[in-house]
Structures are given as C-alpha cells and as structure tokens.
Amino acid sequence: MTMNRLTGKTTYTGWLRATLLLPLALLAACGVNNVVIEGSFPTPNIEPLPMTVAVYYDDALRQFSYIEYSETGQEEYNIESGVSHIALFDAILPAMFSEVLVVNSLEEARSAEVDAVFAPAIEEFQLALPAKTKLDVYEVWIKYNMRLVSADGESIADWVLTSYGKTPTATFRSEEAAINDAAIVALRDLASSFSLSFTQVPEVRDWLTSRGIRT
C-alpha cells in the first residue's frame, strides 16, 4: 500500500465511518447510548525537528471504544473515539517533525527511509458522570502509551502520558454532547503536553543528541 504524507489537515475517510455503522446499529437496538467523539484540534506553533517519522495506528487505536456501565451493570454508553485520536495525531505530528508518513504496518515502516516510527496506544479510558460522582461536571481521563522505535524495530523510548478533560453540566442540553466535549478537552490536553514535552523525555533527548539534533 502507498504511504500517506501528513500535512496537518485531517479528512475523515468513508471507510472509517462505515466501520462504525454496524456495531453502533447493533448497540442502538439494545438501548445503549452511542457517542462518537468528534472535534477539531489546533496545530501547535512549534519548530519541527529535522527528521522523517512514520506513524503507525494499529487496529486497537483505530477502532477504540469504551463501554460505560450503569450502577446495575447494564451497558449505558458506548463511546467511539478511535477516529478522534487519529485526527489528533494527524494534526500535531506534522508540526513536530519535518516529514510524517502514515504506514499500515511496522513492516511497511521498515522498508521506508525514516528516522523513527511512532506508534501510540491507549492503555486506559475513564469516564465520570455527574449522576455517579454527584459533581456538576463530566470528566474524562485517558492514559496513553507512547512508543518510539527505530526503522528496524529497536525501542528508542516508551513512556506514558495522561490527559484530562471536563465540562460543566450547565453547558450542554444532552449527556452525549457533554461527554463529547469533555473527551475533546482531554484530547487537546494531550496535544499540548505531548508536543511540548516530547524532547524532554530522557530517552528521546538522548537519542536526538546522538543524531546531532539539538533541542
């Protein structure tokens, strides 16, 4: 397959939306409230590093969903956020590196002339609803595992980042809209912390120094 170069402009492709339709339709029939996270992400105003990086989004990230259960153990919300995670990284990575390629597998990355491969993963997603916390806010926490490897698969850096977002109950008329907003705030929190702290990760900093890149 042909690798795609990122320019910072994200397009929601038809196949991603089509992939969501069947499971969402089945869940809707069971009475589950479906929330597909959607929003926009600003491009950070930073100096890009002079390097070419491949980014690999595995199926777990592309199709990520989270089920929130009611206090009686019933499925209450199905939150689909895979598309928004990809949109986030597609927006910030071109600002961080001089060239970014999207690859469909780690094997494909090895055949490309890249300096490194970035493979993000979601380790944990948490949702707090006002009905359960008795607080007047909707809250979202996301825990990420950030992985940077060489083109031949050797680990360069492996670190964890967490993000947090909240929105007050008075802001929205529906729980679905409030959950979406809290999740987008959490994703924007990640965009800021990831882009600004990337070169401060000790293993990343040492690797850049070994390549003669000053930060």
pLDDT range class, residue 3, cuts 50, 70, 90:
low
Angle at 16 (CA atoms; ends 174, 160), nearest 5 degrees: 75
DSSP 8-state secondary structure symbol assigned to residue 48: P
Contact between 79 and 183 (Cβ < 8 Å): yes
Q: Which residue(s) pair with 79 in the sheet?
A: 35, 66
Residues in CB range of 22: below 8 A, 6 or more apart? none
Integer Cα distance of 40 and 56 in angstroms = 21
The pLDDT of residue 6 is: 66
pLDDT of residue 14: 43
Nearest to 92 by CA among 191, 185, 186, 200: 191
**Could you tell me the pLDDT band of residue 96, with boundaries at 50, 70 and 90?**
very high
More confident residue, 23 or 121: 121
pLDDT score of 9 more than 80: no
User: Among 102, 22, 125, 16, which Cα is nearest to 62's?
Assistant: 16
Average pLDDT for the chain:
87
Percentage with pLDDT > 90 across the chain: 69
- 172-193 pLDDT, tens per residue? 778 999 999 999 999 999 999 9
pLDDT higher than 60, residue 26: no
CA 124 to chain centre: 12
The values of phi and psi at residue 84, to 5°, are -70, -35
Kindly report which listed range (119-123, 169-173, 198-202) carries the lowest average pLDDT score.
169-173
CB 33 within 8 A of CB 76: yes
For 127-142, write each residue's pLDDT tens digit. Answer: 999 989 999 999 999 9
- Note the pLDDT of residue 20: 47
Give the model confidence (pLDDT) of 71-89 as tens digits: 888 889 999 999 999 999 9
What pTM, to 2 d.p., does this model score? 0.83
DSSP string over 172-215: -SSHHHHHHHHHHHHHHHHHHHHHHHGGGSHHHHHHHHHTT---
pLDDT of 25 strictly over 50: no
Longest dimension (CA), the chain: 57
Superfamily of domain 4-39+47-210: ABC-type transport auxiliary lipoprotein component (3.40.50.10610)
Three-point CA angle 157, 64, 161, nearest 5°: 30
Chain CA centroid to CA 34, Å: 19
**Cβ burial 50-66 (10 Å sphere, 16+ → b, else e):** ebbbbbbbeeebeebbb
Helix then strand then coil, % of the chain, to nearest 5: 40, 35, 30
- Residue 151 in this model has a pLDDT that exceeds 90: no
Residue 28, pLDDT > 60, answer no
Q: Evaluate if residue 111 carries a pLDDT over 50.
A: yes
Q: How confident is the model at residue 17, as a pLDDT? A: 47
